């Protein structure tokens, strides 16, 4: 595995990938596995796209991705990628789209195990009552990402970058 780190308005990101695709994005200081190779060149396009996202110049990522997870998790993560930039949905709405409203807890767990936050926008999922809940990067980061997207969508220059 290859990795690089980058500073962003929401703190440090560690990007991890193999020769073909991005496999993980971690927020905040991340312990580096000794088997990983620091390789900024391999992940340069991902860094560029994150910089564009935070500058308000990119609303969708176009990177080869290889998240590891179960078939169910991949279904949920695919649905997350369909949530429009600057919009939100709920765990319950995702469960209904999957065809079973009782899977809401499983949807929440899959959302929480998303290895590619921001790119697979789990931050766009909120509680049924509209509250900000459940984000591995912390609620302050979730709030900042949603505010950033709202500003960009409304045509304002983002205050993040």
Phi, psi of 97 (to 5 degrees): -60, -30
The answer to whether the CB of 50 falls within 8 A of the CB of 8 is: yes
The answer to whether the CB of 43 falls within 8 A of the CB of 61 is: no
Could you tell me the CA-to-CA distances from 25 to 1, 41, 99 in Å, in that order?
Answer: 13, 16, 29
The answer to whether the CB of 40 falls within 8 A of the CB of 4 is: yes
Distance CA 141, CA 102 (A): 29
The answer to whether the CB of 56 falls within 8 A of the CB of 151 is: yes
Q: Which of 27, 94, 95, 122 is catalytic?
A: 122
Could you tell me the CA-to-CA distances from 137 to 10, 61, 95, 96, 117 in Å, in that order?
Answer: 9, 19, 23, 26, 9
Task: For residue 122, indicate whether it is catalytic.
Answer: yes
Catalytic residues: 122
């Amino acid at each position: 595995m290859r990795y690089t780190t980058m500073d962003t308005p929401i703190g440090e990101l560690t990007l991890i990938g193999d020769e073909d695709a991005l496999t993980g994005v971690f927020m905040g200081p991340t312990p580096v596995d000794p088997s990983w190779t620091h390789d900024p060149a391999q992940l340069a396009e991902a860094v560029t796209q994150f910089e564009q996202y935070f500058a308000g110049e990119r609303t969708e990522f176009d990177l080869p991705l290889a998240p590891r997870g179960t078939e169910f998790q991949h279904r949920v993560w695919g649905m997350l990628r369909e949530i429009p930039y600057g919009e939100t949905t709920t765990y319950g709405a995702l469960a209904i789209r999957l065809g079973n409203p009782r899977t809401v807890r499983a949807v929440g767990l899959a959302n929480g195990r998303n290895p590619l936050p921001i790119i697979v926008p789990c931050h766009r999922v909120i509680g049924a009552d509209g509250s900000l809940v459940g984000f591995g990067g912390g609620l302050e980061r979730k709030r900042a990402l949603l505010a950033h997207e709202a500003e960009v969508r409304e045509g304002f220059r983002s205050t993040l970058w």
